[in-house]
Homo-oligomer: A and B are copies of this chain.
Amino acid sequence: MIWCVPDNGIRRLVLFAYAERQMNRFMGVKKYKVVFKPDDVAVDVEDGDNLLELARKAGVALTASCGGDGVCGTCKVLIEKGETESLPGMQLDPGEVAMGLRLACQCLVRGDLVVIVPETSRMATGGGRRALATAEELMAVTGWTHAPPISKVYLELVPPTLEDNSSDLTRLERELAKHNIDDYRVELGFLRKLPHVVREGGWKVTITVLREPSGSRLTRIEPGDTRNRLFGLAFDIGTTGVRGELLDLNEGKVLSRGVEYNGQRIYGDDVISRIAYSGKPDGMAKLQQAVVATMNRIIAEMTQRAQVPAGDLSYLTVAANTTMIQLFLGIDPKYLRLAPYVPSAGVLPMFPVRALGIDVPEHVYGYTIPSVASYVGGDIVSGLVGTGIYQRQETVLYIDIGTNGETVVGNADWMVSASCSAGPAFEGGGISCGMLATEGAIEGFHYDPKIKQPTLTTIGGAKPRGICGAGLIDIVSGLLTAGIINQKGKFQSESDPRVRSGVEGLEYLLTPAGETDINKDIVITEIDIENLIRAKAAMYAGYQTLLKSVGLTFQDLDKVIIAGTFGSHLDIEEAITIGLMPDIDRNKFFFIGNGSLLGARLSSFSSELIEAGRRVARMVTNIELSENGDFMSHYIASMFLPHTDSSLFPEASRRLMELSKGGIH
């Protein structure tokens, strides 16, 4: 890759920026810090520095096919946090801009930055391990306008006189009418604040307006003009992990992120055991309070980190599976697990969030992305919306890998869904040294047969603390290709110096206690591997059965979109090797990370996507795998690495065969 700045208009702008920066330096310019992720490389920079230049200096391998002219669009980066200024070069799609995407070559630093370099913008670096881990923007919904369901309007009321002493609300109404807000709802809480706030603001106020599907609602009144402060929360409530984002709704960007294990975990690992627990005395209340407490901790951390007072929050979007939604809202989930598996409601109303125990002011309203069925929830609909599958003509298989494995196949014209219980293994749950995909989680495993030693990579490059879902897949695939475990997932006795007898049977030592951050050996046990095999078998059998039910094969698919909370990447090749993913053209795979959270975020930015969610939820037809004879036989046949039917995995089987031939045993 040759780096050059051709002599054209764009270059002149870059040069001008360079000159400006030099002048600023002379004048005593501001200094900032830019962190590139997932590399975690930090550089000290100055106000006005060009982001592409900085990436080069920092050794971050950013593609720029046109050499930084702002014409090819290949150097897209995601500004996770901080202020930038864009040069007037090539324009990104407004949806992309709203998501925080910028062209690095056109982007000047105007504050401390956290920059994510998506895999699609990364130069091939030889290893190519992450080449298929595709950044979310490649598969995001398009064509929507930035118009959050909640907005602010600034009004200057006419002060009352003895001649016109009509009510405060009437005076407000007159001004609202000028903004075409004629028919609205209002709560007593708003009316109780009204007389004080209009006078405090000298009859100048800002009204927060919630656009509900059935009309408008005035949710908040503030003195003066506060339009520049409009913040929201997006949450994905997973059965195992809860993930949140603090959003600037005006700017359409993420200010901070947070993740924690779902506090409900102590009451059971999967939705079935949670539903069972909800039937015990106080069970519902305990489960509801547990998830709310988790969310409150995440909110406290995110607002503190982004320095946004919780009082400035206005809106909450939640995407989650149907059981999580019903437990969050206090709706008994009992009938979700009894045939014929009927949820209470698919499309739910907007509701005041504080009444549920969420630590936000009473003016905050929440919305849950609608669900399709008992086991195809709002998390899936959120992903279908966020990735725009409902807009596409090509046939897509959408797979959400989580504690519940949910799958949808279809396109703009039709969609069919199915779900199965995979268990929490993909999120590090039920694994002896498992953990969420946060700092210190082992996410990569490379085995060197010559020295019989593995090379581990962790999230953030920190000392290992445990194994996340992506790491688990890498490790099992690595142990299999190295011949340390067989295709049933059992250790080949004495095959490797690191295999040993542990409390729960045979195990493989990944990191000795002294090299960890937790002062404990990190191992993977045979039981862990068995759990992963069960989980991947359920997933694979799930989409196998689904495709068969609509008369398709894997070869008929144009794209496979994989959603899941694996951290920054999922290695598709390894996922195929263990039989989690079908053995088809690798270029058809797109990994989008947490699809549920993606859809929740984008739905917070545009009412159009809320409407899309309602359309999608109505459009999907669900089939029940639990009542499907095919599913169980597919499942049993999948309890092998990669599969008992090797013809389904020609490439993976050939690779395993070759490795075993030239193997180390």
Instruction: Answer yes or no: A351 CB below 8 A from chain B CBs.
Output: yes
CB distance from A485 to the nearest CB of B (A): 39
Within the complex, the shortest CB–CB distance from A214 to chain B, in Å, comes to 5
Main secondary structure of the interface of A (DSSP, over half): loop
Most-contacted residue by chain B among A166, A169, A195, A335 (CB, 10 A): A195
Contact A345-B214, Cβ < 8 Å, known A165-B374, A351-B188, A624-B165? no
Query: Do A346 and B160 have beta carbons less than 8 Å apart?
Result: no
**Complex interface: chain B residues within 8 A of A334 (CB):** 195
Say which residue of B168, B345, B374 sits within 8 Å of A344 (CB atoms): B168
Binds B, one of A6-14, A324-332, A641-649: A324-332
The answer to whether the Cβ of A348 comes within 8 Å of any Cβ in the partner chain is yes
A331 partner residues in chain B, CB cutoff 8 A: 188, 191-192, 194-195
A215 interface hit (Cβ, 8 Å): yes
- Judge whether A162 is part of the interface by a CB distance below 8 angstroms: yes
| A160 and B215 within 8 A (CB) | no
Is A185 close to B, CB under 8 A?
yes
Q: Please measure, in the bound complex, the distance between the C-alpha atom of A348 and the C-alpha atom of B348, giving whole angstroms.
A: 26
Q: Are B165 and A345 in contact (CB under 8 A)?
A: no
Is residue A349 within 8 Å, beta carbon to beta carbon, of the partner chain? yes
Find the B residue at minimum CB distance from A350: B185
Residue pair A349, B185 in contact (C-beta under 8 Å): yes
A344 and B194 within 8 A (CB): yes
A93 at interface, CB cutoff 8 A: no
A341 touches B167 (CB 8 A): no
A124: shortest Cβ distance to chain B, in Å?
Answer: 48
Chain B CB within 8 A of A282 CB: no
The verdict on A340 contacting chain B, using a C-beta distance below 8 Å, is: yes
Question: What residues on B are CB-neighbors of A169 within 8 Å?
Answer: 344-347
Interface residues of A in 121-179 (CB under 8 A from B): 160-162, 165-170
**Smallest beta-carbon distance A351→chain B, Å:** 5
In the bound assembly, the distance between CA atoms of A235 and B347 in angstroms comes to: 37
Is residue A339 within 8 Å, beta carbon to beta carbon, of the partner chain?
Answer: yes
Given contacts A169-B347, A196-B332, contact A342 B188 (CB under 8 A): no
Most buried by B among A167, A187, A329, A332: A167
- Scoring A residues 198 to 218 as 1 if CB is less than 8 Å from chain B, else 0, what string do you get? 010000000000000011000
Q: Output the least CB separation between A329 and chain B (Å).
A: 6
Q: Which of A160, A185, A192, A344 has the most CB of B within 10 A?
A: A344
Nearest B residue to A172, CB-CB: B345
Q: Taking A191-B331, A195-B332, A351-B188 as contacts, is the C-beta distance between A346 and B624 under 8 angstroms?
A: no
Fill in one digit per residue for A504-515: 1 if any B CB lies within 8 Å of its CB, else 0: 000000000000
> Is A494 an interface residue, CB under 8 A from the partner?
no
Complex: A194 Cα to B348 Cα, angstroms: 13
Q: Does A552 contact B (CB under 8 A)?
A: no
Which residue in B167, B330, B343, B344 is a CB contact (below 8 Å) of A343? B167
10 closest A-B pairs by CB: A169-B345, A165-B340, A167-B343, A167-B346, A162-B340, A160-B342, A195-B344, A160-B340, A167-B345, A165-B342
